[in-house]
Structure 1
Amino acid sequence: MNYTIQRMWIASSRSQREAWENLLHQASIRTEELVEYTVGIYDGEKLVATGSRYKNVLKCIAVCKDYTGGEVVSLLISHLMTEIFDAGFERCYVYTKPQSVQSFLYMGFEEIERVEDDLVFLEKAVWGFQSFLNELAKKKEEGEKISGIVMNANPFTLGHQYLIETASAKSDLLHVFVLSEDVSLFPAKVRKRLVEEGTRHLPNVRIHDTGDYMVSAKTFPSYFLKEDKDTTEVQATLDAKIFKNHIAKALGITTRFVGEEPLSFATNIYNESMKKVFGEDLQLVILPRKEYDSEVISASRVRKYLAEDRLEELKGLVPECTYRFLHSEEGEVIIRTLKESLKS
């Protein structure tokens, strides 16, 4: 059959938006606003398939029941992959339902990890997850207690530094992973640089990127999960399984350190999910948070002070490297961006 492929302008065309929403609804998929490009495949004037992408992640893949398992699916996925690679990305990812996995495997995707009956995380790349793990394995060092920490550090605070220092003192070697995803106020390169500068006095600490394999809640797709599923729990379980089954094994990590979260319900769910996944195979150590002026030090508190022009008060919240950065031209640009975002 002759199908036509057409970009869908779901943000500006009401008719295309309605057709898109109807097809997603038929496939039991919720709408997802965090998309950059959406395409439709038409049989005549009938929309029979749609898919979107956000950066290098496929999203909102939906196909009419009468058109599944054939040419339409291949046409849709191939088109979206071409869009991603033409945009300069070297890897393509998709989170999907377990029952939809076969279509992606047929298109050359490889499974990274899954969360039981809820979700499967797949990738198509020349230099992909296994290559990432192989590079990590080259950095493996011997020791009786090898530990790990994963952080966003948006920005790097005295709380982050305290967590690393405490874990470092309890470990022969400590691997710290800084979230690579650029969806935070402070760019990934800046966050990693500040962590490196703030831990130079610790000879047993190694700093790594997470690559694309640990994502923030902002970009984790939940549109295909059942309404009664806790998105945070599913994401936390996926992250924990990737860390336990792959990253920890590559580096010989036996302990994961995290800070307790008296203020964050979502992070508490994360910690509980890690406990379940790690079991007895990987020790989870939850450390009390560092406080200043009887209040927990947090990156959100730092950002609040920045927005309120309370820079001098940050001396009790951030290490010297972060304080110095915030007074640099680069730091001032970020502060202005923060203030402008709060106005809109």
Structure 2
Amino acid sequence: MDYSIQRMWIRRSRNAREEWEKLLIAAGIRSEEQVEYTVGIYAGEKLVATGSRHQNVLKCIAVCRQYTGGEVISLLISHLMTEVFEAGFVSCYVYTKPQSVMSFAYLGFKEIERVGDDLVFMEKAVHGFNDFLDKLRTRKIEAQSVSGIVMNANPFTLGHQYLIEKAAQASDILHVFVLSEDLSVFPAHVRMELVRKGTSHLKNVMIHETGDYMVSAKTFPSYFLKEDKDVTEIQASLDAKIFRNHIAKALGITTRFVGEEPLSFATNIYNEVMKKEFGDEMKLVIIPRMESDGEVISASRVRAYLKEDRVHELRSLVPETTYEFLVSDEGKKIQEKLKISK
């Protein structure tokens, strides 16, 4: 049978969106807004498969039941992969259901981790997860107490600094991972540099990038997309498994520190799920959040002050190194972007 590949303009055409959502529902998949390209495979006039991508992540892959296991899925995934690599990416990621793993494995994808019967996270990359772990192993330091923290730091606050200082005091070696993905107001290179400067007085702290594997849109999209509790729990389980089974083992981490999350519904669920997933293999320590003027110090509070031109009030919320950046030319440009996004 001859198949045609057609772009689906799901945001421009109501008919296209309804057709797309109908196929997803039939395949037991929920639609997701965080997609930038969607394509359909047609047998004549009938939509028999669809898939989307956001950057280098394949999403919302669905195939009509009578067309599974054949050339349709290969045609769909090959097309989406071409789109990813032609966009300049050197890696491609997908989360899928266990029954679809072999279809992706046939096309060169390798499994990173899975959550029961709900989700499998896979990648196709020249330098993938194993290379990432190998680089981490080169920075492993043998010690009695080795801990880890993962943070976004958007931007780095006194709250973040307090969490790291408390963890560093309780550890021989502390590995701090700063989110690599540029989904935040403050770019990744800025956040990384602010964390480095704000922790330079702590000699047992090592700073790392997260790559594409920790608390990212690839492993935990609902963290950013504010999806419902069930999806958040599945994605949180995936992230916790990746950290426990791979990241922690590469560095000898036995304890993970997190900040208490009274303000974030999704992140609070994330902490609860992480504690469950770690079980007896890893210790999870939750540190109460630092406060200023009776309010929790948070990055969102700092961003709110920047929007409101209350920069002079930030000295009680951020380290001096962060404050110096915020009043610099580059910091002022970010402040202007925040005001525009009101």
TM-score tier after normalising by the smaller chain length = over 0.9
Q: Distance in 2 between matches of 1:257 and 1:215?
A: 14
| Aligned residue in 1 for 2:300 | 300
What's the CA shift string for 1:109-145, capped at 9, x where partnerless? 1111111121111111111001100110011012111
Q: Distance in 1 between matches of 2:148 and 2:129?
A: 19
What's the CA shift string for 1:174-211, capped at 9, x where partnerless? 10000111111111111111000111111111100000
Does structure 1 conserve the Cα–Cα contact (< 8 Å) formed by 2:151 and 2:178? yes
Q: Distance in 2 between matches of 1:207 and 1:294?
A: 30
- Give me the TM-score of the superposition, normalised by structure 2: 0.95
Residues 220 and 308 of structure 1: is their aligned pair in 2 closer, same or farther, counting only changes over 3 Å?
Answer: same
* Gap regions ≥5 residues in structure 1: none
| Aligned residue in 2 for 1:80 | 80
2:186 aligned with 1:190: no
| Aligned residue in 2 for 1:47 | 47
Letter in 1 for 2:36: E
Does structure 1 conserve the Cα–Cα contact (< 8 Å) formed by 2:220 and 2:236? no
What's the CA shift string for 1:4-56, capped at 9, x where partnerless? 11111111123322221221122122221111111111111211111100000
> Percent identity among equivalent residues?
74
Q: CA deviation at 1:257?
A: 0.8
Q: Distance in 2 between matches of 1:203 and 1:270?
A: 29
- Give me the TM-score of the superposition, normalised by structure 1: 0.94
Q: CA deviation at 1:263?
A: 2.5
Moved more, 44-53 or 260-269: 260-269
2:247 aligned with 1:247: yes
Does structure 2 conserve the Cα–Cα contact (< 8 Å) formed by 1:58 and 1:92? yes
| Aligned residue in 2 for 1:335 | 335
| Aligned residue in 2 for 1:322 | 322
Residues 91 and 254 of structure 1: is their aligned pair in 2 closer, same or farther, counting only changes over 3 Å?
Answer: same
2:290 aligned with 1:290: yes
Q: CA deviation at 1:220?
A: 3.9
| Aligned residue in 2 for 1:123 | 123
| Aligned residue in 1 for 2:71 | 71
2:15 aligned with 1:24: no
Q: Distance in 2 between matches of 1:219 and 1:279?
A: 20
Residues 221 and 206 of structure 1: is their aligned pair in 2 closer, same or farther, counting only changes over 3 Å?
Answer: closer
Q: Distance in 2 between matches of 1:218 and 1:64?
A: 25
SS in structure 1 of the partner of residue 305 of structure 2: helix
What's the CA shift string for 1:211-258, capped at 9, x where partnerless? 001234698457xxxx98612211211111111100000001111111
2:275 aligned with 1:275: yes
* Gap regions ≥5 residues in structure 2: none
Equivalent pairs, count: 338
Does structure 1 conserve the Cα–Cα contact (< 8 Å) formed by 2:84 and 2:92? yes
Residues 75 and 265 of structure 1: is their aligned pair in 2 closer, same or farther, counting only changes over 3 Å?
Answer: same
Letter in 1 for 2:196: E
SS in structure 1 of the partner of residue 338 of structure 2: helix
Does structure 2 conserve the Cα–Cα contact (< 8 Å) formed by 1:147 and 1:256? yes
Which contiguous aligned blocks of 4+ residues in structure 1 show a shift greater than 3 angstroms?
215-222
Q: Distance in 2 between matches of 1:31 and 1:169?
A: 45
Residues 74 and 63 of structure 1: is their aligned pair in 2 closer, same or farther, counting only changes over 3 Å?
Answer: same
| Aligned residue in 1 for 2:9 | 9
Letter in 2 for 1:176: V
